[in-house]
Amino acid sequence: MKTMKHFLFASLALVLLLSSVGVTPANAQGLSGKFVLPFVAHWGSATLPAGDYQFKMERLNGIVYVDNGRKIVGMILPETAGTSYATASSLVVTESGGVKSVRELRMAPAGIVLHFPAARLANHRVQISEARYLIQILPTGE
């Protein structure tokens, strides 16, 4: 029940945020992109091997769909959303205890940033030190 409430709250917050920054169906370019991941990383419950990826975000439910060109490899719900003043779209990946996790999706054209929780793996001990990586996102040209 708590998960459903969290999902509904996150979806509503995202819809409100997107409507306040003026994202319309005609301006969908800011809600999709492609990136190259140079290492294995966790994003939500998905484990992404190094490679080329594309993503799309359904504005109505806030889920980010990630595919590798052949199939959808992840459907990830953001934990929170906010306003982004980034000049370029990017993924922020952090590394803690040798585990890399996608923590932010910054979409400059839409002016939003989506936040994701760090990977929770069995036998993974949390470390205080954390490395950060910035992965550039390119428009998909749709």
Sorted by where each begins, the domain ranges of the chain are 2-136
Whether 9 has a pLDDT exceeding 70, the answer reads no
Cβ atoms of residues 53 and 41 within 8 Å: no
Q: Name the β-bridge partners of 101.
A: 42, 94
More confident residue, 25 or 133: 133
Reply yes or no on whether the pLDDT at 97 is more than 70: yes
Tell me the Ramachandran region of residue 98: left when phi exceeds 0, alpha when psi lies from -120 to 50, beta otherwise. Answer: left
Please state the rounded mean pLDDT for residues 89-114.
90
pTM score, whole prediction: 0.70
pLDDT at 61: 56
Q: What is the CA radius of gyration of the chain?
A: 15
The closest alpha carbon to 72, from 59, 63, 84, belongs to 63
- Range with top average pLDDT, 57-71, 75-89, 118-132: 75-89
